[in-house]
Amino acid sequence: MPNQTRTETMSQREWVEKDYYAVLGVQAGASQSDIRKAYRKLAQKYHPDANQGDASAEERFKEVSQAYDVLGDAKKRKEYDQMREMLRSGFGRFTSGTQDVRFEDLGDLFGGGRASGGIEDLLSNLFTRGSGRTAMRGMDLDTDASISFEDALHGKEISLNLNDPSSGPRNVRIRIPPGVTDGSRIRIRGKGSPGQGGGPAGDLFVRVRVEKHPIFGRKGQSDLTLTLPITFAEAALGGEVEAPTLRGSVKLKIPPGTPSGKTFRVRGQGAEVKGTKGDLLVTVDVAVPTRLSKESRALLEKFAKSQDESPRKHLKGE
């Protein structure tokens, strides 16, 4: 039994002393996104399915998978960094006076023994082992999904056809959450490639493409935007105009002298997401007529002559 414990501890020591950042080719301060990108690139390069009969590629794939199993999980990565920091500080093998402290003795610093929740428990959290073989996490997969404007607001369950390099083509059903915006990236845990040797499946990352609406745009999750054309007379004299919403229409009061580009907020007339209603942001656009009747032109010319104040006088410093 002591020999088995020593063998296991030395194996764990090799794992902790291994630089998984170097294995993935990233810096120690790399973001989780950079770590994920590096892993995917290497996993695709060395995956056994793409390197049939290449033992060195298979070993490299195992090494990359083991590195990502630790660094790809924020909690495991933190524990791994803490262990490496202890080793860099001298724990594991250093001389203090006349005493040589071994890696195995680190357990004493944490209360010793398996039941204590000490060093061996910490190490066991970092690595999954079984039948003398390291379990390998499955690859993460990326795909795109297009949904309608309304489905993006309310959420929808959709079906996706995946081309999994590990297990071949397959179909999965996922739930798009309400309020998703164009370009959002959704993580579906456990829907990536299956693991090997008892390892967990990878994750599925879905980039959502939201189709444009013919009338409305979006601002944030639940606010809608609308460009509403109004006539010159409505802008100058003011009045009430009708504005469409997702649930019908509302009356919008236009004050006299409203300039083109003015935006009005109609509260509660946006999209309803997760029980909360957003607002409708209406931007008016003064429509300039391209054709005028003789009567209209004559009236407009008379109006122009009656205006004795130029809208550009501030440009002359007046």
pLDDT digits (tens, 9 = 90+) for 251-288: 999 999 999 999 999 999 999 888 889 999 999 999 98
pLDDT digits (tens, 9 = 90+) for 25-83: 999 999 999 999 999 899 888 887 778 888 888 888 888 888 888 898 888 888 888 87
Alpha-carbon torsion angle 53, 58, 59, 61, nearest 10: 160
C-alpha neighbours within 13 Å on the C-beta side of residue 94: 9
- Whether 130 shows a pLDDT value over 50: the answer reads no
CA 55/CA 53 separation, integer angstroms: 6
Q: What is the pTM of this model?
A: 0.56
Go through the domains of the chain in sequence order and give each one's CATH number: 2-134 (1.10.287.110), 141-210 (2.60.260.20), 217-306 (2.60.260.20)
Q: Per the structure block, which two tokens stand in for 114? A: 């398996």
- Whether 98 shows a pLDDT value over 60: the answer reads no
CA 283/CA 235 separation, integer angstroms: 12
CA 260/CA 227 separation, integer angstroms: 11
- Whether 118 shows a pLDDT value over 70: the answer reads no
Q: What is the pLDDT of residue 66?
A: 84
**Listed range (4-8, 13-17, 209-213, 252-256) with the worst mean pLDDT:** 4-8
Answer whether 192's CB lies under 8 Å from 202's CB. yes
